[in-house]
Each structure stands twice: as structure tokens, then as C-alpha cells.
Amino acid sequence: MPKTTFIPKRPAHRAFRGKTMEQAPKPAEAPKPKNRTMALAIIIIAILVVVGVGVYFLTRPNPSPTPTGPQVTVKDDGLCGSSDMSCLFTPASINATVNGAAVTWKNTGTISHTVTTCDSTNGQTSTECPNGTDATGLDSFSLTVAGGASVTHVFAKAGTYYYYCSIHPFTMHGQVIAS
């Protein structure tokens, strides 16, 4: 009889020990890897942000640089009829440096114009080029400048360039003296 009373005590003791084993301060280690992962994620995000900002500043287009060269203002009243003198290039004559700073035509009006060089196809005293035509071999170009926009040209050869607006050739004339 006393034997049987002894046996049940052992499992109870074992069970108690088992419980204490489970309650051991195991969870204290669990948050560590989580914190490390978070720290790693933050570092990676920080690196990506720094690299992203760097790439942005290195590759962003020059934010419409203030033109340092000669500037011609293109003006209009939005209509530009055949005798409308409010549509013009001003100043009508400007100097430029050969292979130097670009000449900028800034359209402060609301409609499109062109900066078209006078060449041999334009008569000497034509409506388009009443002041003359360019000498042979000079730069030949036609730039369209929309309302509010700007166009530029670097002159590669010295000479007097006569130009006009091919949309409003009756009133819009100008010249660039490149040297």
C-alpha cells in the first residue's frame, strides 16, 4: 500500500519540472532577429534614398538655364494680320559671337512663329527678306517657337544673317550679326 502512494508523486514532480523548462526565458531572444531585420531594412532604405537623391541631382536636366547669350524677344498680339506691326522680333538686330553663346529667341506671345534664315530662295527684296539675304555658305535653319517657348542657335560662321517668320513674313523680320 505505501508503494502505491509513492508512485503518483514522481510524475507530478516531472510535470512541474517540465513546466519550469517551458517557462524558461526563451522569448527574450526572439525579438533580436526582428530588430536586426528592421535595422537592416532602415539602412537599405536610407542607402536607396541617398543613392536616389544623388542620381536625381546628377542626371536631372539643367532647369531651364538663364540664357547668358544675346536674346531676342518675339512678340505678338495673338492675331498677326498682314499689316499687324505688333508682331515682331525685338531688337530687330543683334550681335552674336561665332561658336560662342547661343542666341535665344523667346516667344512672349501666344501663337507660334518661326526664325527662318533668308537664303538664295528668298528674293533680295522679297516680303520675307526686305533687308537682304544671307551670303552663300552661312548657317541655314528654320526654328519654330511656340507661344511662351524659346529656341536657340549657336552661329558657326561669321556674317550677317537675315531672318523672318515664315508664318507672318509681312511684318516679322530680324537680323543677327555674327562675328
Sites of contact with Cu ion (CB under 5 A)? 113, 165, 167-168, 172
Three-point CA angle 151, 155, 158, nearest 5°:
150
Whether residue 121 contacts residue 69, with contact meaning beta carbons closer than 8 Å, is answered with: no
165/178 with CB nearer Cu ion: 165
133/171 with CB nearer Cu ion: 171
DSSP letter (8 states) at residue 78: S
59/82 with CB nearer Cu ion: 82
DSSP letter (8 states) at residue 65: P
CB of 157 to Cu ion, least distance (A): 25
- Size of the chain, expressed as the number of residues it contains: 179
94/165 with CB nearer Cu ion: 165
**CA-closest candidate to residue 142, choices 123, 167, 114, 118:** 114
CB of 150 to Cu ion, least distance (A): 15
| Burial of 69: CB neighbours in 10 Å, binned 0-12, 13-18, 19+ | middle
CB of 169 to Cu ion, least distance (A): 8
CB of 101 to Cu ion, least distance (A): 24
